[in-house]
Amino acid sequence: TTQIKQQLDRLKETLRQYEYHYHVLDNPLVPDAEYDRLMNELKNLEWQHPDLITTDSPTQRVGAKPLDGFAQITHEIPMLSLDNAFSDDDLDGFLRRIEDRIPVKSQQLEFCCEPKLDGLAVSILYVDGILIQAATRGDGNTGEDITANIRTIRNVPLKLNTPNPPARLEVRGEVFMPQQGFEQLNERALAKGEKTFANPRNAAAGSLRQLDPKITSQRPLVLNAYSIGVYESDDQLPTGHFERLQWLKSLGIPVNSEIKLAQGREQLLAFYQHIQQKRSSLGYDIDGTVLKVNDIALQEQLGFISKAPRWAIAYKFPAQEEMTI
Ligand SMILES: Cc1c[n+]2nc(N)[nH]c2nc1OC(C)C
């Protein structure tokens, strides 16, 4: 059966490359018909040799049976939320708070600028390059195990596109439903007298919370990664967030194509205005932008503000001149 195994491996690797070029590089290598032909060839060969089926095979996206419920998963690193800005003044406050804590003028600071996708935050764990587990953000500390549903999302790789994968890599990103897929889903639901969804975000949430992966598999969901959680490897990660996202893309993880580096206040505002102007033609819902200090070491120096209470404020006296007597 080594002959069969080699044939299976070749088919799986070829299909993975086709999926990578189609879903991540947005640049198909072959027509869909050729992809479908090869997928059927692999399905037939696996049907003849079920004992040789591997969990990372492109044929293994839709789980067997519906779940009774979702198990809970505790995030090793909490998935925190973001502070909001609603005006240029708020942005200036954000920049000033950074300058107060690190000796760098914001004009010299590089930022990774991203569209803020209006979907659901998820965490996907790859062990030795194989998709092992996926969870919703939940309350930030514990989420629901939605591994079976995440596996059905066509642009989520079941195996990372590298000969030497990290021991553990947690990818964090947004699962969303593009507007066209949302409209088609609601049309079909109406035609079948089923309930429709109010907006793409609810449709994505409802699709990920399906206990039956066969239903999730028929929903047009898309993943875009935006950060790395747990990482264990002999190799160091790049030292910039933007460069880390490009590295994820090289591994076969889809990353939004609007993401850019910007330096200083003017370029941040230019990115914000650029995305705002493109908003209606993106083909998916966004609710703003996410602007991140790009240098990871600076991110760690700046740290997190645990959500300060909204109902209390420390109104301080002006700093007293130290009297030297
Ligand atoms: C909660 C969140 C949401 N988003 N969305 C994007 N694009 N990036 C991003 N980063 C996040 O958190 C990081 C700052 C860790």
As a three-state string, the secondary structure of the chain is CHHHHHHHHHHHHHHHHHHHHHHHCCCCCCCHHHHHHHHHHHHHHHHHCHHHCCCCCCCCCCCCCCCCCCCEEECCCCCCCCCCCCCHHHHHHHHHHHHHHCCCCHHHCEEEEEEEECCEEEEEEEECCEEEEEEECCCCCEEEECHHHHCCCCCCCCECCCCCCCCEEEEEEEEECCHHHHHHHHHHHHHCCCCCCCCHHHHHHHHHCCCCHHHHHCCCCEEEEEEEEEEECCCCCCCEHHHHHHHHHHCCCCECCCCEEEEHHHHHHHHHHHHHHHHHHCCCCEEEEEEEECEHHHHHHHCCCCCCCCCCCCCCCCCCCCCCC
Residue showing tokens 């700046």: 302
Strand order in the sheet with 286-293: 260-263, 110-117, 286-293
pLDDT digits (tens, 9 = 90+) for 152-205: 999 999 999 999 999 999 999 999 999 999 999 999 999 999 999 999 999 999
Task: Determine whether the shortest distance from the Cβ of 274 to ligand 1 is under 6 A.
Answer: no
Q: What is the pLDDT of residue 189?
A: 96
What is the mean pLDDT of the segment spanning 82-102?
90
What is the mean pLDDT of the segment spanning 254-283?
95
Task: Determine whether the shortest distance from the Cβ of 182 to ligand 1 is under 6 A.
Answer: no
Task: Determine whether the shortest distance from the Cβ of 114 to ligand 1 is under 6 A.
Answer: yes
pLDDT band at 114 (very low <50, low <70, confident <90, very high): very high
Q: What percent of the chain has pLDDT over 90?
A: 86
Task: Determine whether the shortest distance from the Cβ of 77 to ligand 1 is under 6 A.
Answer: no
Distances (CA, A) of 148 to 20, 50, 136, 165, 174: 20, 20, 12, 22, 17
Which amino acids are annotated catalytic?
116
pLDDT of 259 above 90: yes
User: Residue 21 C-alpha to ligand 1 middle, in angstroms?
Assistant: 25
Cross-strand pairs, 134: 124
Flag the least confident range among 46-55, 59-68, 106-115, 142-151: 59-68
What is the mean pLDDT of the segment spanning 273-295?
94
What is the mean pLDDT of the segment spanning 27-46?
97
Q: Which atom of ligand 1 is nearest to the CA of 114?
A: 7
- Report phi then psi at 30, rounded to 5: -135, 160
User: Quick count: other Cβ atoms within 10 Å of Cβ 183?
Assistant: 13
Task: Determine whether the shortest distance from the Cβ of 81 to ligand 1 is under 6 A.
Answer: yes
User: Residue 226 C-alpha to ligand 1 middle, in angstroms?
Assistant: 6
Q: Which atom of ligand 1 is nearest to the CA of 80?
A: 1
The answer to whether 228 touches 169, Cβ cutoff 8 Å, is yes
User: Residue 284 C-alpha to ligand 1 middle, in angstroms?
Assistant: 17
CA dist., res. 47 & res. 52, Å (int): 9
Cα of 1 vs its chain's centroid, Å: 38
Q: Among 116, 222, 231, say which to mutate for ligand 1: greatest number of ligand atoms within 8 Å of CB.
A: 116
Residues ≥6 apart with Cβ < 8 Å to 241 = 112, 227, 292, 293, 294, 295, 296, 299
Q: What percent of the chain has pLDDT over 70?
A: 94
pLDDT digits (tens, 9 = 90+) for 213-240: 999 999 999 999 999 999 999 999 999 9
Q: What is the pLDDT of residue 275?
A: 94
Q: Which residue, among 53, 51, 64, 63, has the nearest Cα to 11 in the 3D structure?
A: 53
Q: Exposed (0-12), middle (13-18) or buried (19+): which is 2, by Cβ within 10 Å? A: exposed
- Report phi then psi at 265, rounded to 5: -60, -45
For ligand 1, atom 9: residue with the closest CA? 226
Q: What is the pLDDT of residue 325?
A: 52
Q: Which atom of ligand 1 is nearest to the CA of 116?
A: 7
Task: Determine whether the shortest distance from the Cβ of 118 to ligand 1 is under 6 A.
Answer: no
Task: Determine whether the shortest distance from the Cβ of 290 to ligand 1 is under 6 A.
Answer: yes
Q: Two tokens at 148?
A: 């079976």
For ligand 1, atom 14: residue with the closest CA? 82
Task: Determine whether the shortest distance from the Cβ of 110 to ligand 1 is under 6 A.
Answer: no
Q: Among 83, 226, 228, 292, say which to mutate for ligand 1: greatest number of ligand atoms within 8 Å of CB.
A: 226
Residue with the larger pLDDT of the pair 312 and 114: 114
